[in-house]
Amino acid sequence: MPHFPWSQLRRLHLNKYQGSSSALLYFLKACPDITHFSLASSEALPSSDEFFELPIISLKALIQLEIDHEIQDEDDEDDEDDVLPLVWIFDFISVPKLERLSIRSCGELQDTELDWDLAPMFANPDCKVKFLDSSGFESESASILERMVVTDITPVPLFPRVKRLQLTGPRIDPALLANVIQFREEQISQGKEAIALLGRVEISYAVDEKMRRYYAAALSTILGSFGMETRCKLVFDPSEFEPNHLPSTVDMDG
């Protein structure tokens, strides 16, 4: 469809994508006014020298981004240096209005990638992301939570405007999550306008009901030990989670 008016697209679900990283970015460049974008792929996305020379693509209207990149069949003979991790996309796009970010799968993520790929876009006062589903970050969910508070290492926290957080990956230390909730509430009480109140955390782990009750009790106990009544609503029943998916999309197989 050489004459398809890509620039008129507003909502797009790119399913079973099998192309290259460069082709994906060129495609996004042709759709500068999309507001909702969902990408699903089970293939390793190869890169090229051309890929690293691409200019920043401005997606000035994008408010919701969903990515599910779970590589199922990896070829041992492939050169791993030619395959980029999921977060490479944030080095090449500008999303000044992004409010909802859902990463359902991205494989292994290193601390350096958190600092180099995520921090420039999401650890700044202009970040407008209000909802974060970090289930796809696997073991790095803990590192993301650690970077959501101000420390000597992270003077500006990741996702300062997040109001709703969803955790459905590996079980997170309840003390770490409680620390994030407490930090956000303290910032609000001190009148720090750059930080939003974390008002809702949805937690779902592949454990039995007894363990879920234990985790909920531990988290409530830790929050209570801070001597303050939290305004954050903790939700442990997946049936009560608020919907995350795109309400309507143009569904295209890649």
| 12-60 confidence digits (pLDDT tens) | 888 877 777 778 888 888 899 999 998 887 666 666 555 556 778 999 9
pLDDT level of residue 76 (50, 70, 90 thresholds): very low
Mean per-residue pLDDT of the chain: 78
Distance of CA 53 to the CA centre of its chain: 25
pLDDT of residue 212: 80
Assess contact for 122 and 162: CB atoms under 8 A.
no
pLDDT level of residue 95 (50, 70, 90 thresholds): very high
158 or 207: which carries more pLDDT confidence? 158
pLDDT of residue 215: 83
Assess contact for 102 and 67: CB atoms under 8 A.
yes
How is domain 6-73+80-253 classified at the CATH fold level? 3.80.10
pLDDT of residue 62: 95
Task: Please give the structure tokens belonging to residue 247.
Answer: 């309400």
Whole-prediction pTM value? 0.81
pLDDT level of residue 199 (50, 70, 90 thresholds): very high
pLDDT of residue 109: 54
Assess contact for 104 and 66: CB atoms under 8 A.
yes
91 or 248: which carries more pLDDT confidence? 91
C-alpha to C-alpha distances, 243 to 60, 133, 164, 168, 203, nearest whole angstrom: 24, 11, 12, 14, 14
115-139 pLDDT, tens digit each:
666 777 888 888 999 999 877 665 5
215-241 pLDDT, tens digit each:
888 888 998 888 777 889 999 888 888
pLDDT of residue 78: 47
The enclosing H or E element of 224 equals helix 209-225
Domain range summary for the chain, segments of one domain joined by +: 6-73+80-253
46 or 11: which carries more pLDDT confidence? 11
C-alpha to C-alpha distance for 129 and 118, rounded to whole angstroms = 12
151-177 pLDDT, tens digit each:
776 678 889 999 999 987 666 788 889
C-alpha to C-alpha distance for 251 and 254, rounded to whole angstroms = 10
Distance of CA 200 to the CA centre of its chain: 16
